[in-house]
Chain A
Amino acid sequence: MKDTLVSRRAVLAGTAAAGALSLTGFPARAEPQWKKYAGTTLEVILAKGPRGDNLQKNIKEFTDLTGIQVESEQIPEQQQRQKAVIEFTSGKPSFDVVHLSYHVQKRQFEKAGWLADLSGYLKDPNLTAPDLVESDFSAAGLQYAKNDKGQMLSLPWSVDYFILYYNKELFQKKGVAVPKTFDEMVAAAETLTDPKEGTFGFVGRGLRNANMTLWTNFFLNYGGEFLDAKGNILTDGPEAIEATKMYQRLLTKVAPPGVSGFNWMESMASFTQGRAAMWIDGVGWAPPLEDPAASRIVGKVGYTMVPAGPKGQYSATYGDGLGIAQASKNKEAAYLLCQWAVSKAQGSRLLQAGGGVPFRNSILNDAEVRKGVKLPQEWLQSVIDSAKISKLGLPVIIPVAEFRDLVGAGVTATLSGADPATELKKAHEQFRPILERSEKS
């Protein structure tokens, strides 16, 4: 590793000098040497979705810019995660660049040492465009991308804040104001619920595992912290119990029947059919909500921040990034690709199509880019506001999936009337040994 770095530096120094000469003494940071790795072929493994689409659709631009060929495949999220882990474990992954879900894989990837350190590349003017600087990424993005030694192990690609979607028409009909706090939200939901009409005040994920991404919005706003300084899990403490009570209250009293089996898809169906007045979920669902072919509430959707709890106002934040396999032989070329994928041009397209929200402030704050956003400006505003109150939505531990399954099952059980404190205690009795084992190994 060290050898290749040294030789690369030496080579780059030479070419940089040549480049500087040709610019006749122009001293500022120039464009990186895009063409240096022309002829290389990169393999990319993507999770299926708008980010992957956006990359694949415009990849010709990257190839034109660099001469690097890119072979990419999109695989459904869950299978993509499995494939990546299995290939990494084999020691010879078939891909150079991997699309990773931070909230699920961060700790696992870091601990296993599967990703290359990009910190050096970021500081290298021959590899990095002048506008790409660390401080341009939002705090949550950096928190996700850096390990505890401060090394950048990936480039943050797209962030997912949880926001409150509401049905303006139903709100107007009942004369309800947009809630700013949980208490107001409960009151509003109660007013808006009308079982005879088949409309309900609130809908959200009740399905085990999926529900944890919603639940943490309550947990954080009740002042919850996932881990203490020693890494002990705290999600069965008093904040968690209060949060679960709130969750239970909303999903049993003012939500459609069967909500305990709802994932985002069923929740969205209720909301787009005008059967639910409020829905808390990721920012990424605006395009289908505003699509006349898929939604009955086009133009009637309001977007705002998750209401405040008694201990603060936070938006549970998730995200994905692009990392480079430590075992890859084309790290520099792969870095150019990652850089292009998170570039302003690509990020603007993503944002404007509503397919994702870039982690880079320079994109979000650019008036020109914002003008091009086809979704309602209210949506964009909710994104920008949520960025300010964003907080990581899941504990950064290896057994995230077990956490979501076990605690999620307990939380789902409260929807059939079980007691929150008892269920959380039971779930954590099962989860704690798993966490201990994984941190020890």
Chain B
Amino acid sequence: MEVKLDKQYPLDVDAARAWALLTDLKATANCMPGAEITEQLSETSFKGGVKVKVGPAVAQFGGTVDVIEAVAAERKMVLRGKGADKGGSSASMDLTAIITADPANPAHCVLNGQAAVIVNGKFAQFGGRMMVQVSDMLLAQFVENFRQTALTLPAAEGSPAAAAQVAASGGDAAAPAAAPKAPVVAREINGLAIFWALVKSWFGGLLGKKA
């Protein structure tokens, strides 16, 4: 079962910080609900896992993530992930992520993601009909976590973002990004939230057709 995703997420984070977070694969992985990098195998290769829980069904994928390409000039990162679940599912993903600056607002950027996800086994058989919706939900949570984490990174000095941080910290220019608050990121996928989103999108779809 293959799902192709092509998404653009506008973020209220400047491109520099978003790129900084993206290149820190461990930190980025932490933004993915249920995901974790457990071991660095080489400069570009990591070992990790993802736990997906939808209702009573739990899939725990273990596998590797490889950085195929990282082009700082283009703020482009190409990753390949591969994993398998002991319960008889396997998955692979080719992901290209590009951060583009928002020309109208230097404090904002757009996270572009193109992914081809292939899922095999039980997960494809059972979850096939929900793959797109579940992927959408996962990505939405990922992006929110990513945004929050990126916002806690210190902004480059003199950047509009830095000025905003100063303003936010009550004008104390001496301690611009001294104590970024620990981000509150959702670490587990919330099965109920996914279900609710699915219901909404189904009914939304139905109403949309009628309209």
**Pairing of A with B:** no
B residues at A contact (CB < 8 Å): none
Chain A residues in the interface with B (C-beta under 8 A): none
